[in-house]
Amino acid sequence: MADNQDPVFQIQRVYLKDLSLEQPNSPAILLEQTAPTVDIQLGVDAQPVNDGIFEVSVSATVQTKIGDKTVFLVEAKQAGIFEIRNLPEDQMGPILGIACPQIVYPYLRGNVADTVQRAGFPPVHLAEINFQAMFEQQQAQAAGQAAPAVTQ
């Protein structure tokens, strides 16, 4: 029989929480020959759901523009529900800010690429992310220190 104090880390579910696609200037913008610029923003959020149960989400906003006109805008949020119990408090931040996002992020990457491609564009492949560096940068900013740059 397992000891009730054993550490527990289990994935309960990974799911697509939110997804939107906008092409506000179609069809005229689709006839443009100029290459668009691409801006990608990422975010991570962790929230307690119940005792020992956490939702961790990774969000991406991908906007492509030609000049000041949007070609397309994709906003996606991929989430996971994790059971995390009996871990020292100092390990919870890295688990929620590094380990869980690393599990969820590949699903987000696939959903964004698929959505963009189904919209009629070449897929946008989000770069691999160093969630440890991102977490450390956020911790440093929260502590008011100069943060090291995150490289993708």
Tokens standing for residue 28? 């005229």
Q: Are 104 and 56 in contact (CB under 8 A)?
A: yes
Tell me the pLDDT tens digit for each residue of 40-61.
Answer: 999 999 999 999 999 999 999 9
What is residue 48's predicted lDDT score, i.e. its pLDDT? Answer: 96
Domains of the chain from N-terminus onward? 17-137 (3.10.420.10)
Is residue 113 within 8 A of residue 123, CB to CB? The reply is yes
C-alpha–C-alpha distance, residues 10 and 82, integer Å: 6
Task: Name the pTM for this structure.
Answer: 0.85
Q: What is the mean pLDDT of residues 13-24?
A: 97
Lateral strand order in the sheet of 69-85: 8-22, 69-85, 53-66, 37-50
